[in-house]
């Protein structure tokens, strides 16, 4: 039987880690190893995971960081210790269906894939909403940027040196785009077996938080990422790659800069505009800017990006951003 490595970064999830590990131990496919990476949180998450490791030493191992290094670095640590032929990432506050591993593996065997992608179910305090895949859309993998909900052939990741580069922000997108640029053989499943937990209380707490540092980080990340990856991107994918980066940056600015005030928005818009101007390809000539050309993109993101770029054609996009800056947070 082919071994599957499940990598679980652990950081302050003591309320949910048991459900996560129980869902992994209850898989219908038994040849798995679970690598829990201790990223130095402040609660009892790792203590709980350690008790599971004592009960299941043949399946669970704990790998420890000496300091908090972030989600990307924790996943990279898991990759370094992986012994399985396939790898899956599960966040420690999430959980999966009992047939998750088996379903993905069957697709690997049937299609000789390098990556298998599934959908997910959002769990908002017991309210479940399915977010299915769109298997018929060849662009769907570009819209599915989460590193979870997927399984990877370990040899492909290592052959192409695909990892999270120890990134602390936007690690899923950077990882996923590096993966796609390497041109793996992908299978998209009409199956949703990953439960992504959304906490209403944490959402409420975040409403008053200044999120502009995330926007500045995004601006810097996009510029560096284009320099790193655009030259290696296959010609057929260059437009969709640039569109995804520009769209993500646009939505991030609209969402996180709401209510920041005109003066701060002026500075943000100036940097945002510089990024778009310096793209290797004029974003307004990008075919995916059209409303119906990238239907796998979430509807709200697609509409927001389309509106901003439509206004940009008449040099009125900054007006939208300025109005957003005056809205209440």
Give the domain CATH number at 149. 3.90.550.10
Alpha-carbon distance 184 to 157, whole Å?
A: 10
pLDDT of residue 201: 55
Contact 179, 167 (CB under 8 A): no
State whether 11 and 135 are in the same domain: yes
pLDDT of residue 206: 52
State whether 224 and 321 are in the same domain: yes
Residue 129 has pLDDT above 90, yes or no: yes
Q: What pTM was computed for the model?
A: 0.93
The predicted-structure confidence for 37-65, as pLDDT tens digits, reads as follows 999 999 999 999 999 999 999 999 999 99
Q: Is 187 helix (H, G, I), strand (E, B) or coil?
A: strand
State whether 285 and 179 are in the same domain: no
State whether 131 and 216 are in the same domain: no
Percentage with pLDDT > 90 across the chain: 85
Average pLDDT, stretch 263-275?
Answer: 95
Alpha-carbon distance 194 to 98, whole Å?
A: 10
Expressed as residue numbers, the domain containing 212 is 207-325
State whether 19 and 128 are in the same domain: yes
State whether 31 and 177 are in the same domain: yes
Give the domain-ending residue among 202, 221, 254.
202
Residue 204 has pLDDT above 50, yes or no: no
Residue 167 has pLDDT above 90, yes or no: no
Alpha-carbon distance 276 to 288, whole Å?
A: 15
State whether 256 and 179 are in the same domain: no
Give the domain-ending residue among 179, 202, 225.
202
Domain total of the chain? 2
Give the domain-ending residue among 202, 228, 260.
202
User: Whole-number mean pLDDT of the chain?
Assistant: 93
pLDDT of residue 189: 97
State whether 127 and 217 are in the same domain: no
State whether 191 and 226 are in the same domain: no
Q: For the chain, how are helix, strand and coil distributed in percent, rounded to 5?
A: 50, 15, 35
Bridge partners of 131, per DSSP, are 120
Contact 34, 60 (CB under 8 A): yes
State whether 149 and 216 are in the same domain: no
Q: In terms of Cα–Cα distance, which of 266, 215, 225 is closest to 245?
A: 225
State whether 311 and 219 are in the same domain: yes
State whether 164 and 274 are in the same domain: no
Residue 200 has pLDDT above 80, yes or no: no
Q: Which of the residue ranges 116-130, 213-227, 257-271, 304-318 would you say has the lowest mean pLDDT?
A: 213-227
Q: Which of the residue ranges 21-25, 37-41, 136-140, 180-184 would you say has the lowest mean pLDDT?
A: 136-140
């Amino acid at each position: 039987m082919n071994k599957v490595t499940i990598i679980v970064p652990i950081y302050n999830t003591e309320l949910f880690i048991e459900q996560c590990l129980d869902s992994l131990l209850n898989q219908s496919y038994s040849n798995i190893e679970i690598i829990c990476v201790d990223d130095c949180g402040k609660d009892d998450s790792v203590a709980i995971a350690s008790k599971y490791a004592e009960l299941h030493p043949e399946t669970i191992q704990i790998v420890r960081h000496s300091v908090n290094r972030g989600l990307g670095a924790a996943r990279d640590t898991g990759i370094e210790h992986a012994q399985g032929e396939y790898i899956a990432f599960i966040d420690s506050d999430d959980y999966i269906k009992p047939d998750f591993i088996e379903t993905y593996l069957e697709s690997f065997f049937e299609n000789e894939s390098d990556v298998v992608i599934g959908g997910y179910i959002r769990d908002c305090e017991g309210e479940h909403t399915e977010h299915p895949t769109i298997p018929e859309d060849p662009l769907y993998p570009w819209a599915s940027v989460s590193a979870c909900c997927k399984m990877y052939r370990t040899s492909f990741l290592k052959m192409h040196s695909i990892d999270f580069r120890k990134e602390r922000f936007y690690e899923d997108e950077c990882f996923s785009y590096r993966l796609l640029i390497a041109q793996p053989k992908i299978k998209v499943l009409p199956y949703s077996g990953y439960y992504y937990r959304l906490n209403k209380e944490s959402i409420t707490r975040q409403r008053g938080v200044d999120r502009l540092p995330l926007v500045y980080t995004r601006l810097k990340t996009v510029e560096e990422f284009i320099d790193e990856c655009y030259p290696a991107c296959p010609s057929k994918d260059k437009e969709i790659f640039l569109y995804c980066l520009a769209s993500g940056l646009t939505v991030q600015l609209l969402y996180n800069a709401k209510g920041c005030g005109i003066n701060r928005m002026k500075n943000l818009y100036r940097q945002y505009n510089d990024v778009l101007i310096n793209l290797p390809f004029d974003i307004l000539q990008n075919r995916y800017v059209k409303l119906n050309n990238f239907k796998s993109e979430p509807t709200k993101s697609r509409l927001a990006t389309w509106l901003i770029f439509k206004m940009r054609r008449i040099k009125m996009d900054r007006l939208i951003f300025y109005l957003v800056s005056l809205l209440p947070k």
